């Protein structure tokens, strides 16, 4: 009887060690399937009004594509789901910078909404006018990776969502020979939530992104019903 108990105890101990080792091995494999890295996106942003750029209808809120920078900084993970299928997921803080084509553009806020006007003071020499909006975002992008680790081609599309952190406008101008910079912070009736579709494509050490916001930038009835877009390059070792 004692011998049987001893054998049973040895078997239970061996089974426990085996189970712990198996769990540890599975944990290691899981960690190997997921990589983490800081990710930096920089590009240009604009917006569309009924599928067209506002300059096509000569709107006052038309922006300069070059100078209207989109910037994002965050932490991202890349998890191998199965074979060439991966999932990129993580969070970031992003900034839309809309630099208006007309440097005399001003945002006038009232209870009725936002009016984009042009300053009429002949003593003012406008130099720059822009609006900046920041968001806290989460991203989920399925990816297909073809080829080897460093020389392969990768592409995918997914979704993102974000919450507005802040918004402000900046006006740079000259008045009576003096350079003046004004900054005003407000919500400017910008929607609190942001959500849309993200596309990703890369080859070797070069990656690109494109975002399209499905939500309108401004609250309905309070501002122009435009959808923000952005595109640029991705700086990260996550995909390599």
What is the end-to-end Cα distance of the chain in Å, rounded?
A: 60
Distances (CA, A) of 98 to 102, 133, 162: 12, 9, 18
- CA-wise closest residue to 45 among 130, 140, 137: 130
- Dihedral sign, Cα of residue 122, residue 123, residue 127, residue 129: negative
Confidence (pLDDT) at 216: 98
Q: Which comes out higher in pLDDT, residue 48 or 203?
A: 48
User: DSSP labels for 52-111?
Assistant: B-GGGGT-TT-B-TTT-EEEEEEEEEEEEEETTEEEEEEEEEEEEEEEBSSTTEEEEEET
* Contact partners, residue 27, CB within 8 Å, separation at least 6: none
- CA-wise closest residue to 170 among 206, 205, 127: 127
167 half-sphere exposure, CB direction, 13 A CA radius: 16
Residue pLDDT, tens place only, 142-167: 999 997 766 689 999 999 999 999 99
Residue pLDDT, tens place only, 91-143: 999 999 999 999 999 999 999 999 999 998 888 999 999 999 999 999 999 99
Residue pLDDT, tens place only, 5-28: 443 443 344 444 344 444 444 444
> Which residues on adjacent β-strands are paired with residue 37?
76
Residue 18 to residue 205: CA distance in whole angstroms? 42
Share of the chain above pLDDT 90, in %: 76
Contact between 173 and 136 under an 8 Å Cβ cutoff? The reply is no
Give domain limits for the chain.
Answer: 36-235
Mean pLDDT across the stretch 168-195? 96
Distances (CA, A) of 232 to 44, 83, 229, 235, 238: 6, 28, 11, 10, 17
Just give the CATH number of 36-235: 2.40.160
Three-state secondary structure call for residue 182: strand
> Which residues on adjacent β-strands are paired with residue 168?
132, 185
């Amino acid at each position: 009887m004692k011998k049987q108990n001893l054998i049973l105890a040895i078997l239970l101990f061996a089974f426990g060690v085996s189970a712990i080792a198996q769990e540890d091995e599975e944990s290691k494999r899981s960690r190997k399937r997921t990589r983490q890295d800081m990710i930096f996106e920089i590009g240009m942003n604009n917006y569309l009004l009924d599928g067209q750029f506002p300059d096509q209808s000569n709107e006052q809120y038309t922006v300069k594509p070059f100078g209207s920078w989109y910037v994002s900084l965050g932490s991202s993970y890349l998890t191998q789901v199965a074979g060439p299928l991966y999932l990129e997921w993580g969070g970031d803080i992003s900034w839309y910078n809309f630099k208006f084509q007309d440097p005399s553009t001003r945002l006038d806020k009232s209870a009725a909404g936002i009016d984009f006007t042009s300053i009429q003071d002949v003593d003012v020499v406008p130099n720059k006018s822009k609006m900046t909006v920041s968001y806290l975002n989460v991203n989920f992008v399925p990816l297909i990776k073809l080829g080897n680790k460093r020389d392969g081609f990768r592409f995918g599309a997914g979704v993102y969502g974000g919450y507005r952190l802040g918004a402000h406008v900046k006006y740079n101008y000259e008045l009576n020979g003096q350079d003046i910079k004004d900054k005003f912070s407000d919500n400017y009736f910008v929607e609190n939530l942001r959500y849309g579709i993200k596309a990703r494509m890369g080859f070797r050490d070069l990656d690109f992104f494109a975002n399209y916001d499905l939500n309108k930038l401004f609250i309905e009835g309070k501002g122009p019903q435009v959808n923000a877009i952005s595109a640029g390059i991705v700086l990260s070792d996550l995909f390599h």
